[in-house]
Amino acid sequence: MAKQPRAWQRMLSGRRLDLLDPTPMDIEIEDIAHGLAFVARWNGQTQGDFAYSVAEHSLLVETLFTRMHPNAKPAAQLTALLHDAPEYVIGDMISPVKAAVGPGYEELDKRLTAAIHMRFGLPGVTPDRLKKQIKRADRISAWMEAVQIAGFSRDEADRFFGAPDPELIKGLEIHLRPPVQVRRDFTDRHNALLDRI
């Protein structure tokens, strides 16, 4: 009889996270922040001396979401910050790769998202309206990243992601930073939002 492949990962916190059956008790924000700070978006194909991490992207998405919805409750803001949190263990795949992998990736993402959300007192399934609002902020972030650090022309970014309202992104610039700084900022923002829920 064939031996079952290992489906868990040991986290730096010491937790053992079962990827196929994750539980909220095995989730720690420090593990999420650390993992996301070291996962590169755009497959690392960005300009600069540091990778543009999923943690940095998540901070930008939460900032954009909050600008778009200034009366949003802290729980909604935290949901925006954690929108890509499962990538701390499953990595960030660009959209064409996700499409090629198929529904298995999406199911894994859903299970991890539910466990992460429950760990921090959020609904296991994000309401559709909130999910769409966060997705809009996510697309604006992708446009900014494409134009500022990923080598896209504005016309190309407009075609793929849609042109954002200039007022919405006014004063926001992407600065690539060392992972340890981004990890700290992500953790601090998470804790500040969690304290207000």
Can you tell me whether residue 94 is helix, strand or coil? Answer: coil
Residue ranges per domain, the chain? 27-196
Cross-strand bridge partners of residue 173: none
b or e along 147-171 (b: 16 or more beta carbons within 10 Å of the residue's beta carbon)?
bbbbebeeeebeeebeebeeeebee
Q: Could you read off the pLDDT tens digit of each residue along the chain, which spans 197 residues?
A: 666 677 889 999 999 999 889 999 999 999 999 999 999 999 999 999 999 999 999 999 999 999 999 999 999 999 999 999 999 998 887 777 777 777 778 888 999 999 999 999 999 999 999 999 999 999 999 999 999 999 999 999 999 999 999 999 999 999 999 999 999 999 999 999 999 99
Q: Which positions ≥6 away from 113 have C-beta within 8 Å?
A: 82, 85, 86, 124, 126
Is pTM beyond 0.95? Reply is no
Decide yes or no: CATH 1.10.3210.10 for domain 27-196: yes
